[in-house]
Amino acid sequence: MSMQHILEAIQADAPGEVFAELAIPESYRAAHVLRAEETMWDGVASEDKDPRKSLHVGDVPTPEIAPDEVYLAVMASSINFNTVWTSIFEPLSTFGFLDRLARESEWATRHKQDFHVVGSDASGVVLKVGSAVRNWKPGDRVTVHCNYLDDQDPSAHDDSMLATNQRIWGFESNFGGLAELSIVKANQLMPKPSHLTWEESAVNALCGSTSYRMLVGRNAARMKQGDNIFVWGATGGIGAYAIQLALNGGATPVGVVSSASRVKLLEAMGCDNAIDRREENYQFWSDEHTQDEGEWRRLGKKVRGLLGDDPDIVFEHPGRQTMGASVFIAKRGGTVVTCAATSGYMIEYDNRHLWMKLKRIVSSHFANYAEAWAMNRLIDQGRIQPVMSEVYALDQVGDAAMKVHQNQAEGKLGVLCLAPEAGLGITDPDKRARIGEDKITLFQRHARGEL
Ligand SMILES: NC(=O)c1ccc[n+]([C@@H]2O[C@H](COP(=O)([O-])OP(=O)(O)OC[C@H]3O[C@@H](n4cnc5c(N)ncnc54)[C@H](OP(=O)(O)O)[C@@H]3O)[C@@H](O)[C@H]2O)c1
């Protein structure tokens, strides 16, 4: 049985019984890295590591599904920064994660392979469900969030991001979403927004849910109406959802970007306060070891000029380059919420500015199922839009990852897996028209130079 039969059933909108009868192919096309190549970048500078050389697209064997899992026909996926990390084997080779997972249970041993299928986002159709799956059935159109955990562990039952064995699917587990088929736990599934294409539906879960937890959920910064929110990388993956969540929640965002073109995109999103960090030429570090407080002050003054006040929340992820400035500019009593450290994870800031002004640094990491579900619902309601700027074929996954690695992509890059072309998968065109084609496709129109 080939993938073609599966695709035909999806395109014919076949009933669930038809999907349940389809045989699962013994192998499938997937983007993966190879264990044999995990030292290939030794001695190479980060920026020179080229994901096009380490990400391969080819057949891998199909594993069995565990009772709590489903086979998913993946129509589309997206590039996340974690796929860049895997492809450049930084800060660690992800094969170490797979080997550790394999030690946890008999089913987990499947993950220890000499290939690692990457990808932590997906939209698609459920093909078969394991014997313990209750809420989903063959034929369901779904999106997937990447919080992968063992729900038989008590530590997973308050906030599941606190589970001792919490992992990110397709990064710390195998059989991820950048493939024509995937293995997904039933508790990763969410309904696909009916007004979006496969690729528009596939780009939101990882970045959108991360931003939701950081800003809106009760576990991190807990944004309120009227708050001022300072967002680094405001047209990037997580930043572009943060800007939308701020606007949708009655807050005032100020977004930082690095080009006039990104300022234009930010303004088109409805964010009136934009800072072009390249034009302003902030030099927060005067040398490798010394930060320049004068430059923090210059940024703080700029923000006050725009907002009339200091930010209640600083949405932080660049890390070493910006954390000193982020702690400085946050309002007295304000919150710096961080989920990453793209420019380096050994962080330095002046602690006097933290304690004397009673500020908080709050950590955040992806989202629990309830938070991911809440974000998916906002997207389904058309209150938050997908920030997809471009679409790539699965074969071009290396090019797409390279673009993200080089900070040349806006928002999210979609990847077509089984979907033969972009634009398919909308089942409620009236809803799409009500929400507005222009709003939904803003990032794509910007990428085509149409703004
Ligand atoms: N913990 C989690 O669950 C989680 C989830 C998602 C992402 N992340 C992490 O969060 C980070 C951002 O992810 P993303 O998907 O938003 O990436 P992205 O799409 O590449 O966007 C990041 C943006 O940050 C800005 N930036 C990069 N380096 C910077 C620097 N040195 N100083 C100031 N701004 C800088 C860039 O915007 P401008 O150049 O326009 O300023 C860039 O567009 C990554 O490290 C990723 O791994 C973590």
DSSP for 306-361, please give it. Answer: HHSS--SEEEE-S-TTTHHHHHHHSPTT-EEEE---TT-SS----HHHHHTTT-EE
Cβ contact 367:212 at 8 Å = yes
What is the bridge-based pairing of β-strands 56-61 and 115-117?
unpaired
Instruction: Output the DSSP codes for 106-132.
Output: TGGGGG--SEEE--S-EEEEEEEE-TT
| Chain centre to alpha carbon of residue 40 | 26
CA 427-81-26 angle, to 5 degrees, is 60
- The CA dihedral of 177, 179, 182, 186, to the nearest 10 degrees, is 30
Helices (H) and strands (E) in the chain, counts: 18, 20
**Mean pLDDT computed over 92-112:** 97
Task: Tell me if 334 sits within 8 A of 307, measured CB to CB.
Answer: no
CA-closest residue to ligand 1 atom 21: 236
- What residues contact 259, with CB distance under 8 A and at least 6 apart? 276, 278
Instruction: Tell me the CA–centroid distance for residue 130 and ligand 1, in Å.
Output: 36
Q: For residues 104 and 234, what is the distance between their CA atoms, to the nearest angstrom?
A: 39
**HSE (side-chain half, CA atoms, 13 Å) at 423:** 2
| Ligand 1, pocket-test mutation among 407, 408, 443, most atoms within 8 A of CB | 407
Is residue 215 within a helix (H) or strand (E), and if so which, with residue range?
helix 205-215
Phi, psi of 234 (to 5 degrees): -75, -10
The helix (run of H) or strand (run of E) holding residue 167 is strand 167-168
Q: Give the pLDDT score at 6.
A: 96
Using one digit for the tens of pLDDT, what is the confidence trace for 253-265? 999 999 999 999 9
Residue 275 Cα distances to 171, 223, 300, 313, angstroms = 33, 21, 12, 16
Q: Please, which pLDDT band fits residue 2 given cuts at 50, 70 and 90?
A: confident
d(CA 275, CA 257): 6
pLDDT attached to residue 150:
85
Pocket probe for ligand 1: among 47, 81, 230, the residue whose CB has the most ligand atoms within 8 Å is 81
C-beta neighbour count of 229 within 10 angstroms:
29
Distance of CA 110 to the CA centre of its chain: 25
CA of 1 to the centre of ligand 1 (A): 41
Q: Which residue has the tokens 């990400």?
A: 55
Listed range (22-26, 116-120, 149-153, 240-244) with the worst mean pLDDT: 149-153
Q: What's the confidence (pLDDT) of residue 1? A: 58
**The predicted structure's pLDDT at residue 138:** 97
Residue 152 has pLDDT above 90, yes or no: no
The predicted-structure confidence for 367-424, as pLDDT tens digits, reads as follows 999 999 999 999 999 999 999 999 999 999 999 999 999 999 999 999 999 999 999 9
Q: Is the dihedral of CA 410, 411, 415, 420 positive or negative?
A: negative
- Within 13 Å and on the Cβ side, how many CA atoms surround 416? 15
Confidence of residue 247 (pLDDT cuts 50, 70, 90): very high
Q: pLDDT averaged over the chain?
A: 97
Q: How far apart are the first and last CA of the chain?
A: 45
Ligand 1 centroid distance, CA of 114 (Å): 29
Nearest-angstrom CA–CA distance, 36 and 59: 17
Sign of CA dihedral 168, 83, 375, 317: positive
Distance from Cα 346 to the centre of ligand 1, integer Å: 16
* Sheet containing 115-117: order of strands: 56-61, 27-34, 115-117
Q: Cα of 317 to ligand 1 centre, how many Å?
A: 6
pLDDT, tens only, 272-317: 999 999 999 999 999 999 999 999 999 999 999 999 999 999 999 9
Burial of 218: CB neighbours in 10 Å, binned 0-12, 13-18, 19+: exposed
Which atom belonging to ligand 1 lies closest to the Cα atom of 168? Answer: 3
Name the amino acid, one letter, at 451: L
Ligand 1 is surrounded, with C-beta below 6 A, by 80-82, 206-207, 210, 232-233, 235-239, 256-258, 262, 277, 317-318, 321-322, 339-340, 342-343, 365-366, 404, 407
CA of 318 to the centre of ligand 1 (A): 6
Is 151's pLDDT higher than 90? no
The residues facing 173 across adjacent strands are: none
Strand partners, 338: 316, 363
Which residues fall within 8 angstroms of residue 140, CB to CB, at 6 or more apart? 16, 125, 126, 189, 191
Instruction: Please choose, from the candidates 50, 55, 53, the residue with its C-alpha nearest in 3D space to the C-alpha of residue 33.
Output: 55
Cα separation, 425 vs 440, in Å, equals: 15
Amino acid 395 reads D
Query: Is this prediction's pTM over 0.95?
Result: yes
Predicted confidence (pLDDT) per residue in 352-370, tens digit: 999 999 999 999 999 999 9
